[in-house]
Amino acid sequence: MKWLLVFLTALLLCGISSCAPSRQMLQQARSGLDTTIAQLPGSGEFAIVTILRGESASTDYGRTCYYAQAYIAVGTFLPGREALAAYVHELSLQGWTVAQDEYEDAKVLVRGEHERLSIELGAPGWIVEREESYQRAREVYPTILNIVVTYILPGRENC
């Protein structure tokens, strides 16, 4: 009985410790995302009206990637494409570079090795659209930019 208790204790501790790196990596990704969000343009012409956050991990081909992601709605009184161009310009002043520019109403930007941002005009996904803060913003702002910011560990290139 004593050995069974020792075995079960060791098994439990091993199980707990194997989860610790995942939690630590998700916390690190969440912290990186929070820093990224704090640096987004959100004054002057633009107002951040909705932020929804989440974290996840996925393992493909033996490699585990950790993601912290935010869905953000930004309101502005600027007309649609002018707002998109102005926001992208503001981001470029912070070191973001355009990675995909195939569509007039959507852009993908990257910064450093962990950050990815997509921005587009039009209706957001259902998860943002149902938020009360988004509904109120639609009544105030003629243009809403829909942004998805992702902080990726170990890095964009590896995941």
Complete DSSP assignment for 136-151: HHHHH-SEEEEEEEEE
Q: Is the dihedral of CA 22, 156, 119, 35 positive or negative?
A: positive
Going through the chain in order, the beta strands assigned E by DSSP cover 46-60, 63-76, 97-103, 106-111, 115-120, 143-153
pTM above 0.95, yes or no: no
pLDDT digits (tens, 9 = 90+) for 13-24: 334 444 567 999
pLDDT digits (tens, 9 = 90+) for 83-133: 999 999 999 999 999 999 989 999 999 999 999 999 999 889 899 999 999
Question: What is the chain's mean pLDDT, rounded?
Answer: 88
